[in-house]
């Protein structure tokens, strides 16, 4: 009887994990597609809602739009690539569920004025964005940046236990505002 009980618990646990990882994969694809298509409303819909306690949703939307569309010095265009998601272990920490997702990402920055020192600019993006593949296109006066991005998937009471996402900021300030040191440490951030 004990053996049947343990098998049942193992089966239920496996089913719950499978459903959780499948829903995570679906949502991660939606988030990636929204970013690649620059669908700002969908991006915000899939964003971890506690971020909006730091910055109101409409303000964040304007900042994102200005970053991509409203800058007189350059335009940024996301390039759709095969994301090749790499999902970490799903972890439950202090009543929240997390997964760190690494994926391929690419963007092109087209500059209004001619870049005088392309090597300096590509080196700057390599270091600031931690990107190994940064190339200058003289004809388009653009920089193509290919990198591995990191998203943090979060499901908790504030999301009705549905997966939502945050992009991991390189300096960790956003993570510090939203999550405890314990969470950051357990996620390796």
Phi, psi dihedral angles at 60 (to 5 degrees): -65, -40
Task: Find the angle CA(84)-CA(166)-CA(97) to the nearest 5 degrees.
Answer: 90
Helix (H, G, I), strand (E, B) or coil at 9: helix
Confidence of residue 175 (pLDDT cuts 50, 70, 90): confident
Confidence of residue 49 (pLDDT cuts 50, 70, 90): very high
Q: Cα 12 vs. chain centroid, distance in angstroms?
A: 30
**pLDDT at site 172:** 72
- Over residues 29-58, the mean pLDDT reads 94
Give me the domain span that covers residue 72.
2-187
**pLDDT at site 16:** 38
Confidence of residue 13 (pLDDT cuts 50, 70, 90): very low
Residue 7 has pLDDT above 50, yes or no: no
pLDDT digits (tens, 9 = 90+) for 131-146: 889 999 999 999 999 9
First to last CA, the chain: 44
pLDDT digits (tens, 9 = 90+) for 54-113: 999 999 999 888 888 767 888 899 999 999 999 999 999 999 999 999 999 999 999 999
- Over residues 111-140, the mean pLDDT reads 92
pTM above 0.85, yes or no: no
Q: Are 147 and 131 in contact (CB under 8 A)?
A: yes
Confidence of residue 130 (pLDDT cuts 50, 70, 90): confident
Number of domains in the chain: 1
Residue 44 has pLDDT above 60, yes or no: yes
d(CA 74, CA 94): 42
CATH of the domain at 121: 3.10.450
d(CA 178, CA 173): 9
Q: Are 88 and 183 in contact (CB under 8 A)?
A: no
- Over residues 24-39, the mean pLDDT reads 94
pLDDT, the chain, mean = 86
């Amino acid at each position: 009887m004990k053996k049947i009980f343990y098998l049942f618990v193992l089966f239920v646990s496996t089913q719950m994990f499978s459903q959780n990882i499948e829903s995570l994969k679906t949502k991660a694809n939606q988030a990636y597609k929204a970013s690649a298509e620059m669908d700002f409303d969908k991006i915000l819909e899939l964003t971890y809602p506690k971020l909006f306690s730091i910055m109101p949703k409409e303000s964040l939307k304007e900042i994102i739009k200005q970053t991509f569309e409203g800058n007189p010095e350059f335009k940024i265009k996301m390039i759709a690539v095969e994301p090749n998601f790499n999902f970490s272990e799903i972890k439950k920490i202090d009543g929240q569920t997390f997964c760190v997702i690494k994926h391929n990402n690419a963007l092109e920055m087209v500059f209004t004025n001619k870049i005088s020192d392309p090597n300096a600019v590509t080196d700057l993006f390599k270091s600031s964005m931690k990107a190994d593949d940064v190339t200058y296109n003289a004809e388009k006066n653009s920089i193509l940046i290919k990198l591995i991005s990191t998203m943090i998937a979060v499901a908790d009471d504030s999301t009705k236990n549905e997966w939502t996402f945050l992009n991991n900021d390189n300096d960790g300030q956003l993570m510090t505002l939203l999550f405890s040191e314990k969470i950051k440490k357990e996620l390796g951030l």
